[in-house]
Chain A
Amino acid sequence: MSEYILKTQALTKRYGSFAANDSISLTIRKGAIYGLVGRNGAGKTTFMKMICSLSKPTSGSFELCGETYPQLRRARTKIGNLIEAPGIYAGMSAYDNLKAKAKLYGTDDRKKIEAILETVGLANTGSKHAGSFSLGMRQRLGIGLALIGEPEVLVLDEPINGLDPTGVAEIRETIKRLNTERGMTVLISSHILSELAKLSTDYGFIDKGCLIKELSEQQLLDDCAEFVRLNVNDRQAAQGVLRRLGITEITDENGQLHLTDCMERTDEITEALVKGGIRVYEIAKQGIDLESYYLELIGKE
């Protein structure tokens, strides 16, 4: 069995001459939480729709749960999705909404449906119509609908859009729980990158329909590595002092020294520099967050 649950090869979706997705080739490991990062209109939803068989690729192919597009007979039942706003029957209760979809799979067992309601925190909604639910409750019901049929892959498109901080935290915890307890692979998109950074184990950066970078959490941490920014009167002499301390990863950028792999040694560095007769104007820890990293990638200020 492949270690990847999804592999796309030059997946392309065109609307006339406009390429919403242009030759996207990415891989998602089993059990990963894959964060698809991109601004509005970057092509995230289009990509997800193709994976969920809601939209047909113009060219390219993909392999999902061991089956290759378009032969996705079993794979179709192994994927649950929440694309854009959750699709719910407003006049039905949360239970009935789940029961309706469960009928599609022939799994409308009361206990299973109640277990999903429990998972998404809607067990106490009774016969209340979904139309009167808050935005957060609707989103959770949308995730609940995606969980019908016990999918192996969960595709969530902007699941935290418009939610208050409590709602965001609830959704985050639900996704984490599904991933750790059930080993569910999650493909999630959001433009709230700080939230994505709290969840994802892998990242795909997408812009103007193209995948511009794909990397793991560790690679991202390395890429976004924090550094110590040092502003001194004599950079040449300071570098000598730092080398004697065993700090070798020093770069001189815009009149400042950037030091990596010495985050916990700022006190020691300051002391050594002062003892070496160097004036320290500023010493500060600095790093870039996911948002800055993404903006750097797409070349925006």
Chain B
Amino acid sequence: MLGNISLDMFVMRKKKSSYVIALLMFGAAVVFSLIEKVTMSNGSEGADGTFISVFTSNVSSCCLFFGIFFVMFACTDLKNGYIKNVAGSVSSRMGYILSKETALAVYILLALAVNALGAVVGSTLFLNGIGDLDASDFIVYIAELYVLLLGFMSLIVFFVFLLRNSTGPMIIAVLLGTNLFGNTFYRLIAMLLAKADIEFNSNYISVSGQLASVRPGADGKDILVTFAVGAAYIVIFNFLTWCAMEKKDIA
């Protein structure tokens, strides 16, 4: 397992897309700072010109980049056939998947750090710098984001190994990363439920909905729901991936 993680970390270091995606996130944070400045100068509401405002806006939009990278990384071995060199040598197929997820988990942390750095640079250049930052709120927020992104990653990895291609998972990554799916499908469900006099927002318990709405300083209940949703996605989709991998042969 350690050898497998080492392999995946090495491959991640060698992949250009690892750097391109991180650079895009950094650039997006700087651009968001500029947008924030313009929004503030127009006197629009909701823009407060702080680091945290830039960071939260950027992270929500960067879910798309995360989704794309998850697909690209998880799919590489399947597409180039490298999986045949490795999968037979590992004692369990799930070990092979978990090592990929470990590498991606490290990448998420690094990418969040790059996002933060971009937001710091952008807010220093165009706004009022970092400003007042409630460290404890920010740490809880980062932890929520991290768990949600791990849940999102587990879902994407499942679809990659279920479908064994990149097209389907990429479409899913885009739909969820941009929360298009949540804005349409879940809204439709809410409308149908409303007809039966049931008020329930299913987007609230979806990882994409949570990623789009998670903010620092949330109340205890919301934080709990966020962690529960992330953890549930991690457990459920890893179990499903295990089922898909154990049953299927390596093509």
Task: List A residues at the B interface (Cβ < 8 Å).
Answer: 49, 52-56, 73, 76-77, 79, 81, 83-92, 96, 99-101, 103-106, 145-146, 149
Is B140's beta carbon under 8 Å from chain A?
Answer: no
- Pick the contact of A146: B6, B14, B85 (CB < 8 A): B85
Interface residues of B in 48-66 (CB under 8 A from A): none
Is B42's beta carbon under 8 Å from chain A?
Answer: no
Name 4 extra pairs, CB < 8 A, besides A88-B82, A99-B10, A145-B85.
Answer: A55-B250, A84-B84, A89-B14, A101-B86
Over the window 1-40 of chain B, the binary record of Cβ atoms lying under 8 Å from chain A Cβ atoms (1 yes, 0 no) is 0111011001100111000000000000000000000000
> In the bound complex, what is the Cα–Cα distance between A36 and B142 (angstroms)?
56
Residues of B near A86 (CB, < 8 A) are 81
> In the bound complex, what is the Cα–Cα distance between A53 and B86 (angstroms)?
10
Chain A nearest CB from B200 CB (Å) reads 42
Question: Count of B residues near A, CB < 8 Å?
Answer: 26
A87 and B85 contacting across the interface, CB-CB below 8 Å: yes
- Pick the contact of A100: B2, B10, B88 (CB < 8 A): B10
A54 and B250 contacting across the interface, CB-CB below 8 Å: yes
List 15 contacting pairs A-B, 8 Å CB cutoff, sorted by A: A53-B89, A54-B88, A73-B91, A79-B88, A81-B85, A85-B81, A86-B81, A87-B77, A87-B83, A87-B84, A89-B14, A89-B80, A92-B14, A99-B10, A104-B7
> In the bound complex, what is the Cα–Cα distance between A85 and B81 (angstroms)?
8
Chain A nearest CB from B197 CB (Å) reads 48
Residues of A near B14 (CB, < 8 A) are 89, 91-92, 96, 100
> In the bound complex, what is the Cα–Cα distance between A149 and B89 (angstroms)?
10
Residues of B near A106 (CB, < 8 A) are 2-3, 6
B89 and A89 contacting across the interface, CB-CB below 8 Å: no
> In the bound complex, what is the Cα–Cα distance between A105 and B2 (angstroms)?
9
B7 and A100 contacting across the interface, CB-CB below 8 Å: yes
Question: Of all chain B residues, which has the CB nearest A72?
Answer: B91
Chain A nearest CB from B210 CB (Å) reads 34
A54 and B91 contacting across the interface, CB-CB below 8 Å: no
- Pick the contact of B89: A77, A90, A92 (CB < 8 A): A77
Residues of B near A99 (CB, < 8 A) are 10
Question: Of all chain A residues, which has the CB nearest B89?
Answer: A76
Task: List B residues at the A interface (Cβ < 8 Å).
Answer: 2-4, 6-7, 10-11, 14-16, 76-77, 80-91, 249-250
> In the bound complex, what is the Cα–Cα distance between A146 and B88 (angstroms)?
11
Asked if A52 meets B88 with Cβ closer than 8 Å, knowing A100-B10, A103-B10, A106-B3, the reply is yes
B4 and A104 contacting across the interface, CB-CB below 8 Å: yes
Residues of B near A145 (CB, < 8 A) are 85
Residues of A near B3 (CB, < 8 A) are 103-106
Residues of A near B82 (CB, < 8 A) are 87-89, 100
> In the bound complex, what is the Cα–Cα distance between A105 and B87 (angstroms)?
13
> In the bound complex, what is the Cα–Cα distance between A55 and B249 (angstroms)?
5
Question: Of all chain B residues, which has the CB nearest A79?
Answer: B88
> In the bound complex, what is the Cα–Cα distance between A5 and B87 (angstroms)?
21
> In the bound complex, what is the Cα–Cα distance between A73 and B92 (angstroms)?
10
> In the bound complex, what is the Cα–Cα distance between A82 and B82 (angstroms)?
10
Residues of A near B80 (CB, < 8 A) are 87-90
B249 and A91 contacting across the interface, CB-CB below 8 Å: no
> In the bound complex, what is the Cα–Cα distance between A34 and B38 (angstroms)?
72
Residues of A near B11 (CB, < 8 A) are 89, 100
Chain B nearest CB from A248 CB (Å) reads 53
Question: Of all chain A residues, which has the CB nearest B4?
Answer: A104
Residues of A near B86 (CB, < 8 A) are 101, 104
Question: Of all chain A residues, which has the CB nearest B11?
Answer: A100
Question: Of all chain A residues, which has the CB nearest B6?
Answer: A103
Residues of B near A79 (CB, < 8 A) are 88-89
> In the bound complex, what is the Cα–Cα distance between A31 and B91 (angstroms)?
26
> In the bound complex, what is the Cα–Cα distance between A254 and B112 (angstroms)?
83
> In the bound complex, what is the Cα–Cα distance between A109 and B81 (angstroms)?
24
> In the bound complex, what is the Cα–Cα distance between A151 and B88 (angstroms)?
13
B16 and A91 contacting across the interface, CB-CB below 8 Å: yes
Residues of B near A146 (CB, < 8 A) are 85
Chain A nearest CB from B9 CB (Å) reads 8
> In the bound complex, what is the Cα–Cα distance between A55 and B247 (angstroms)?
9
Question: Of all chain A residues, which has the CB nearest B81?
Answer: A87
Residues of A near B16 (CB, < 8 A) are 91
Chain A nearest CB from B247 CB (Å) reads 9
Question: Of all chain A residues, which has the CB nearest B250?
Answer: A54
Question: Of all chain B residues, which has the CB nearest A56?
Answer: B249
B250 and A49 contacting across the interface, CB-CB below 8 Å: yes
A54 and B7 contacting across the interface, CB-CB below 8 Å: no
- Pick the contact of B15: A83, A87, A91 (CB < 8 A): A91
> In the bound complex, what is the Cα–Cα distance between A49 and B250 (angstroms)?
8
